[in-house]
Chains A and B, each alone.
Chain A
Amino acid sequence: MTRVYLREICLSFGRFHLFDGLSFECPEHAYLCLVGPSGCGKTTLLRIVAGLTHPDSGDIMIGGARVNDLPPWGRGVGLAFQNYALYPHLSVAENLAFPLRARTRKDRVRGAELHRRVRDMAALLQIEPLLHRSVTQLSGGQQQRVALGRSLICNPRVLLLDEPIAHLDVRLRYQMRLELKRLHQRAGTTTIQVTHDQQEALAVADIVAVLKDGQLEQIGPPLKLYRHPATAFVAAFIGDPPMSILRAELITDDGELALRISEAVIPLPRKFIRNLTGARSTKVLLGLRPTQVALADYAGPHTVAGIIYSHEIVGRQLELVLAIGNDRLRYRTDRVLRVSVGEHVNVSLALDNARLFDGGTGRCLGADDDIAELGTVETV
C-alpha cells in the first residue's frame, strides 16, 4: 500500500495562508499530476510530501503510516527537482550511486551490487555511454534523465517529479513525456508530478488535480476535467484552447429561461433548466469552447456583438479573440479571413454543450450525469 494521503494540511508564511486545511489523495500505483498557475502551492505540496517543507498542521500519510516526523530519507520517496539539482562535482555514475551510499539507508549497497544497480538504471534510461562523464557536460535532456535515475535508483515507494520536462525544447518534451508515461506503466510506482502545463498533465496523468491559491479546484481523470470542469477556473485553465468565460444573466423571456449576454438574449436549452435550482443568483458564468462559437453574417436577436481584440494563427487555424463587454471570447476557424483589430463582428453561440457556473462561487451548475458519460478513450 503506497497510497499518499494528505489530511487537513495547513501552512502559512507569516500572515499569508497558503494551505488552509487542504486534503487530497493519490491512490496506489496512480500517476497524479498537480497543475495550477504559479504560486498556487503545487511545488510546496510536493515538498511537503518529500519532507522538505513542514506543514503547520495536518497529517502526511504514505502507505497508511503517518510520516510527519520522519526525515526526507525515511519516507521512501524519490524526488526529481525542476533544475535537476545534480551534484556538479560528481560524474553521472557517482550521481546515480550517491543515494545508494547514504549511511542512513538500511539497504545500503556497496561494491559490485552498487555498480550493478547503477548500470541497470543507466540502461533503463538509455544513458549508459554517459556514465563516466561529468554532469556539467550533459545536455538538458541528458541531465533530466540522470535526475530521474537518481530519484528512482533506491526503488522509492513514491516518485515525486517537480516540472521534470519544463526546461526541454518542444520536440524533446513530447518524447520525454511519453517516456515518463511508459516508465510508469512498466514500474507502477505511485507518482506525483508537478507541472504548469495542463496539456502535459492531461497527456501523462491518470489523475489530474487542479490547484488554485492553495485550494483544490478539482481532482479527477484528465478527460473528466476537460469535459466536466467543476469550476469556472478549471474550465478556463484546462484544454488548448481552454473555455472562454462570459458573464451572463439569467432572465425569463416569454416565460422561457434565457441568458442575457451584453445586449443579446439567448434561450437556454431545456436540459440546463433542472440544474439551475442550485443557482444562488441570476448572475452566471458561461463557459464555451471555441468550437461552440460561430461567426454570424448578420446581427440577429440571438447573436452577440463583439469587437476583434486580437487575432493569431494557431496551427492551421485562425484564432480570433473577441471582446464582449469586458470578457474575451475565443473563436477558431479553418477559413481564410481578412480581419483587423477593432472590427465589429457578431457571433452565435451553441449552448448545448456549454457549461454554466455560478456567478459568485464559480462552481459548476448541474450534475455531470446529464451529459454523455466520459472517457471513451481507454487509458489502461
Chain B
Amino acid sequence: MQRTALRATLAVLIGPSLLLLTALNVAPFFLGVYMSLYYWSLANLGPPRFLGLLNYEYLFADYRFIDSIKVSLLFVVLSVATELVLGTTLAFVFSSRARGMASLRRISLLPVMVMPLVAGLVWFYLFNPTYGTVTWLCYAVGLGRIPFLTKDWLALLCLVIADVWQWTPLVMVVVFAALQSIPEYCYEAGKMDGLSQRQMLWRITLPLIRPAIVVIMILRAIDSFRNIELVYMMTRGGSGTETLPWYIYSTAFIDGNLGSAAAMAVVMVLFVTVLTQFLVGRLRYRQA
C-alpha cells in the first residue's frame, strides 16, 4: 500500500520533466535523423524527397564540411589550451593572500556571463581595420595596420582571443576553487613529513587539482565546439573561420537545405556525445 503511494509521488515529481525532455530532446533527435535522409528544403513548399544515405555521401565528399571540422577543432584546441594555461597560472596568482586580491578576482569574473553575442560585437569593434582600438594599439607600437578579421589565420586567432577573454576567468576561478578546497591539513601533514615547497607542489597540489582541471577542460571543449555567436558577429564564416556550427547554420538557414544540415547535425551530435561521455564519466566518478 505504501509502495503505491511512493510510486505516485515519484511520478508526480519526475514525470513532467521527463515528458518535457523527451519532447524537446529525444523527439528532435530522431526527427533530425529522419530529416537527414530526405531532401528537405526551407524554400521548397513541396513534400520532402527521400534520399536514403545520399546526404551523408555528399557530406564526406564535401571539402567545406571536412574543413569546417578541422577549423572547429583548431579553434577548440587553441582556445581551450590557452584558457587552461592562463587560467591555471592565474589561479595560483589569485591564491596569494595579498590584500585586494578577492576584489580583483571578483572583477575579473565579469566577462564570464556576458551575452556571447555582445562579446562578439565588442571584439568586432576592437578588431575593426579602420578604427578598431586594438588595430590602433598595434599600429601605435609599430606593427602597422593589421587587417585582423580578413586575413586567413588571423581571423581565427581573433575568435580565439575573444573566446579566451570571455572564458579564462571561469577556468581561473574553477582552478582557484579547487586550490582552496585542498584541505589545509594536507599541507600541514606535508610539512610534518618534511616535504619541500617543490615537493608540495608536485606531490600534493597538482595531483589534487587535476580532477577539476580535467572537468573544466572537457566542459570548455564542449562549449567552444558548439559556439556560434562569435563567428556570427565577427566574421560570418569568412577568412577561414567557417566552423562546423556556422556551416550547419548557413546550410540550413541561409542556403535553406535542411536535410543536408540535419545530416551534418547528426555527425556533430555523435561527436559531442563522445566528449560528453568523458565528462559524464568524470561527474559520475566525482559523485560516487
Contact = CB atoms under 8 A, between A and B. Distances in A.
Q: Do chains A and B touch in the complex (CB under 8 A)?
A: yes
How large, as a class, is the contact surface on chain A? under 10
Contacts of B1: 69
Nearest to B2: A71
A56 to B, nearest CB: 14
Contacts of A71: 2
Nearest to B5: A71
Interface in B1-19: 1-2
Contacts of A69: 1-2
Contacts of B2: 69, 71
Interface in A24-69: 69
Q: How large is the interface on B (under 10, 10 to 19, 20 to 34, 35 or more residues)?
A: under 10
Chain A interface mostly helix, strand, loop or mixed?
Answer: loop
Contacts, number: 3
A69 B2 CA distance: 7
A311 to B, nearest CB: 29
Nearest to A54: B2
A65 to B, nearest CB: 16
A145 B272 CA distance: 55
Nearest to B3: A54
A185 B2 CA distance: 36
Interface string B147-159: 0000000000000
Interface in A97-144: none
B7 to A, nearest CB: 15
B266 to A, nearest CB: 42
A287 to B, nearest CB: 43
A71 B9 CA distance: 15
A294 B2 CA distance: 61
A69 B1 CA distance: 7
Interface in B76-121: none
A71 B1 CA distance: 10
Interface in A65-82: 69, 71
A71 B2 CA distance: 7
A376 to B, nearest CB: 48
B216 to A, nearest CB: 32
Interface in A232-289: none
Interface string B1-43: 1100000000000000000000000000000000000000000
A69 B4 CA distance: 12
Interface in B47-66: none
A125 B2 CA distance: 35
A41 to B, nearest CB: 22
A197 to B, nearest CB: 29
Nearest to B1: A69
B142 to A, nearest CB: 63
Interface in B203-255: none
B98 to A, nearest CB: 33
B9 to A, nearest CB: 12
B202 to A, nearest CB: 39
B4 to A, nearest CB: 12
A16 B94 CA distance: 51
B56 to A, nearest CB: 48
Nearest to A70: B2
Interface in A183-241: none
B167 to A, nearest CB: 36
A252 B226 CA distance: 89
A91 to B, nearest CB: 29
A49 to B, nearest CB: 16
3 contacts: A69-B1, A69-B2, A71-B2
Interface of A: 69, 71
3 tightest Cβ-Cβ pairs between the two chains A and B: A69-B1, A71-B2, A69-B2
